[in-house]
């Protein structure tokens, strides 16, 4: 079965909408000003709870764009991804308790932190009645959601699936990364010699997936095809990647399937700006996909955690559809001269492109995207 990507949606530091994200990247724009990033400029008041339910609000915006005006097929699956869900809404309760006060809303201790909450909000809002699940596998979550959504369709569990990743900034996440010493106080510089760490961002990405035959039958115009999915674990350490990048390499090979590495003309890289992760990722890409041009987008939108893989899958699908490769954001790649970073927007057709994510806990995910031709 061939899986088509028939809709995409996004909200990021570059604005609302997939076009704002992609055009901003191609123009070399950035939404970063150091850490933390987008913060209070994100949309608020989209749902009950306002800005405090920001992850759910971001998810719903991206998902509605991906669906567009399409009629939902009966049994549409919703596969969401997040790392912190709406945890921000629970933080006042914990702060009150720490200060010896009773929290105003005791229910907020638990309810907003449940990882499935954004998925539930989206499914209810759009009236989806098919399978519903949430992936929380650190910073591969959004990419895993896309892969799992495709697997549900191929297994006959759903006629179509909406996959999304969404995460919003909250104090818990910000201070957690600060405690690890992973922040760059300036806009991050992935693959740069003097990179110091990441910037956090927030946003959401969504993709509508369905069998190609079904999409054609209903008159849809696919954006691209999801041709492969790889997901592995390093079984190494909680934060550090396996030094040889063996798990990451296996994910890439699994996603390639019967495709040859030389077919992949472009990679949307994980590219966090953290010293060890960049080094391992660069080695893996040079070894497994030596002919591919490489772009990282976190230097423009920040590291959006559970949303990262979904946002990067949206960018990859549009790059394949339009034959446009956005430039690498945030640095000139001076630390890795053998890495073929895209310095300025390139326009050329792609036989295939890949989006990769390598996360804490040794999670590795790769998505292979190919063009659709009528």
Residue 81's H or E segment, with its range, is strand 77-81
Print the SS3 string covering 266-304: EEEECCCCCHHHHHHHHHHHHHHCCCCEEEECHHHHCEC
Task: Give the strand pairing for 293-296 and 264-269.
Answer: parallel
The single residue listed with the structure tokens 């200060």 is 99
Angle at 11 between CA 171 and CA 218, to 5 degrees: 140
Task: Pick the catalytic residue from 192, 270, 328, 363.
Answer: 270
CA pair distance 18, 189, nearest whole angstrom:
23
Pair type for strands 224-233 and 3-12: antiparallel
Cα 26 from chain centroid (whole Å): 18
- Measuring CA to CA, which residue among 124, 364, 117 is closest to residue 246? 364
CB-based contact 338:115 (threshold 8 Å): no
Known active-site residue 139: yes
Question: Can you name the residues that pair with 135 across neighbouring β-strands?
Answer: 81
Which entry of 192, 303, 328, 363 is annotated as an active-site residue? 303
SS3 246: helix
**Nearest-angstrom CA–CA distance, 198 and 183:** 5
Q: Is 303 a catalytic residue?
A: yes
Three-state secondary structure call for residue 329: coil
CB distance 316 to 355 below 8 Å: yes
**Cβ atoms of residues 339 and 345 within 8 Å:** no
Catalytic residue chosen out of the listed positions 139, 144, 188, 268: 139
In order of 49, 97, 100, 273, the CA distances from 103 in angstroms are 16, 6, 9, 38
Whether residue 287 contacts residue 253, with contact meaning beta carbons closer than 8 Å, is answered with no
**Is-catalytic flag, 115?**
no
Whole-angstrom distance, CA of residue 141 vs CA of residue 166: 9
Catalytic residues: 139, 270, 303
């Amino acid at each position: 079965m061939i899986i088509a990507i028939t809709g995409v949606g996004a909200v990021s530091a570059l604005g609302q909408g997939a076009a704002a994200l992609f055009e901003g990247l191609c123009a070399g724009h950035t939404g970063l000003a150091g850490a933390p990033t987008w913060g209070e400029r994100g949309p608020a008041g989209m749902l009950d709870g306002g800005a405090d339910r920001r992850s759910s609000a971001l998810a719903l915006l991206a998902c509605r764009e991906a669906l567009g005006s399409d009629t939902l097929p009966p049994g549409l699956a919703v596969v969401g991804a997040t790392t912190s869900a709406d945890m921000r809404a629970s933080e006042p309760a914990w702060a009150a308790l720490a200060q010896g006060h009773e929290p105003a809303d005791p229910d907020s201790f638990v309810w907003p932190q449940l990882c499935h909450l954004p998925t539930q909000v989206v499914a209810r809002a759009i009236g989806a009645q098919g399978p519903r699940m949430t992936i929380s596998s650190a910073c591969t979550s959004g990419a895993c959601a896309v892969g799992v959504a495709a697997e549900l369709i191929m297994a006959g569990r759903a006629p179509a699936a909406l996959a999304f990743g969404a995460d919003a900034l909250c104090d818990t996440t910000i201070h957690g990364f600060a405690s690890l010493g992973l922040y760059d106080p300036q806009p991050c510089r992935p693959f740069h010699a003097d990179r110091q760490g990441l910037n956090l961002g927030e946003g959401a990405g969504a993709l509508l997936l369905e069998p190609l035959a079904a999409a054609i039958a209903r008159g849809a115009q696919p954006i691209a095809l999801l041709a492969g999915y790889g997901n592995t674990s390093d079984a190494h350490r909680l934060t550090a990647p396996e030094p040889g990048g063996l798990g990451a390499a296996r994910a890439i090979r699994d996603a390639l399937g019967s495709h040859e590495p030389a077919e992949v003309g472009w990679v949307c890289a994980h590219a966090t700006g953290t010293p060890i992760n960049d080094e391992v990722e660069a080695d893996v890409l040079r070894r497994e996909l030596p002919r591919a041009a490489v772009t990282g987008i976190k230097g423009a939108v920040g590291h959006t955690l559970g949303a990262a893989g979904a946002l990067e899958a949206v960018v990859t699908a549009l790059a394949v559809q339009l034959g446009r490769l956005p430039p690498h954001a945030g640095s000139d790649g001076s630390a890795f001269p053998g890495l073929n970073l895209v310095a300025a927007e390139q326009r050329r057709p792609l036989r295939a492109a890949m989006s990769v994510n390598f996360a804490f806990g040794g999670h590795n995910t790769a998505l292979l995207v190919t063009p659709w031709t009528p």
